A and B are shown apart, each in its own frame.
Chain A
Amino acid sequence: MDWKEYKYYAQLSGDDMVYRPIVGVVLSTIKDSIETIGIIDSGCDYTLINAEYAEELGITPATCETAVVGGIADKGTPSFIAKIKLRIEGFEDIFEVNARFVPGMVVNVLLGEVDFFENFKVLFEKRQRKFSLIKSTS
């Protein structure tokens, strides 16, 4: 198994260009699938997803367990939890994750400690604007 290399994504932040470790992800349920992007975020506990994706995936929030997600300054935002399948760009493996869907989330997907970091080793090489992933085997 080889490391797979990715480029950091360039995005504007004020007058500056910032570079973020972003990778393509496919979210799916038995009802639908959708391709988007996710930020690799070791400061995030779980897989967090903008709640608008839930509707597209046929998930009904009212039937889901709920959990509060805390940010850097707020007291917490209610989210709902649903099991979905997640595939990372460049890999064939499909992971089942208990994703937290967060209404009003400004980003698309955050790939956090549980699920993502449990399954992948990550090598960040910021100065080279690249990072690499390999599946964790143990």
Chain B
Amino acid sequence: MKKNTDFSTILNKAHENKWVALSADRTKLLDSADTLRELRKRIKDTTAVYMKVLPSDMSFAF
């Protein structure tokens, strides 16, 4: 399966610091929430990919 690797095409400022659920190919935003628990309760798609969205107004040293 080809996967989207450019999150700027589906995520924006409103999603920063939130949890999002993406389709398995990462081309669609399924839903978002403040906590992972809340998000998983709402998502029925068992193939969803979950992630917390980084803020874009800072750089990172991981």
Contact = CB atoms under 8 A, between A and B. Distances in A.
Interface of A: 7-14, 17-18, 22, 24, 34-37, 39, 41, 43-44, 50, 52-53, 55-56, 71-72, 106-108, 110
Interface residues of B, number: 26
Contact of A72 (B40, B49, B61): B61
Nearest to A10: B6
Mostly helix, strand, loop or mixed at chain B's interface? loop
Nearest to B17: A106
Interface of B: 3, 5-8, 19, 24, 35-37, 40, 47-52, 54-62
B49 A24 contact: yes
30 contacts: A8-B5, A10-B6, A10-B8, A11-B56, A13-B56, A13-B58, A13-B59, A14-B56, A14-B58, A18-B59, A22-B5, A34-B40, A35-B24, A35-B47, A35-B50, A36-B49, A36-B50, A41-B62, A43-B62, A52-B19, A52-B35, A52-B36, A52-B37, A52-B52, A56-B36, A56-B37, A106-B54, A107-B62, A108-B50, A108-B51
